[in-house]
Chain A
């Protein structure tokens, strides 16, 4: 089974802090994604990556950056956390562009105070 692991289930940070959310997948998937999930808004794509060191903006990239130095790891960075970034963050991976079955991590619930 594909396993996507997010480093933290719950995080509490203060406004202005730099926050790192880590995601690791163990099945050599090419593509990795970061979403945020908010009530009534569904899953919104923040950033995605099709290859190592490659990143593309999703629908809501403002206030976020990402890093993919290794194929299995995709990090989401909040340079200066704000209260409106309080949310559930979900990482996902897919095998390739041709196979779009998304495998999700369990999520990180981030609260910014």
Chain B
């Protein structure tokens, strides 16, 4: 099993602060996804990155795929209570097309 490590595991911040979540592996991924999961629900896709060095922006969220396609980061600017949730990264390898390896998640709490 190719591992994905996320950090930090837990993050509690005040509304308006910025934060970054990291997703790291020793393996190269053909694509990487970020999902957000709210309590009592299944994960929902936020973004897919496929090119080394790629940066994607989704409103206040910025996603970056490492040049070597082994790591990724999610940066949230001016966090809001609605950003609270579990953030999961998931990577797909060329050798395991169609299957994803999930990180164990970052639980974000944004306090008003």
Query: Interface of A with B (CB < 8 Å)?
Result: 4, 9, 31, 35, 40-45, 48, 50, 58-59, 90, 92, 94, 96-98, 100-107
- Contact check: which of A40, A42, A48, A107 meets B40 at CB < 8 Å? A107
Q: Which residue of A lies closest to B30 (CB)?
A: A100
Interface residues on B, range: 20 to 34
Q: How many residue pairs, one in A and one in B, have C-beta atoms under 8 Å apart?
A: 58
**What CA separation (Å) do A40 and B9 show in the bound complex?**
8
CB pair B45–A101 under 8 Å, yes or no, is: yes
Main secondary structure on B side of the interface with A:
loop
CB distance from B32 to the nearest CB of A (A): 10
Between A9, A41, A43, the greatest number of chain B beta carbons within 10 A of the residue's beta carbon is seen for A43
Would you call B95 an interface residue if the criterion is a C-beta within 8 Å of the partner chain's C-beta atoms?
no
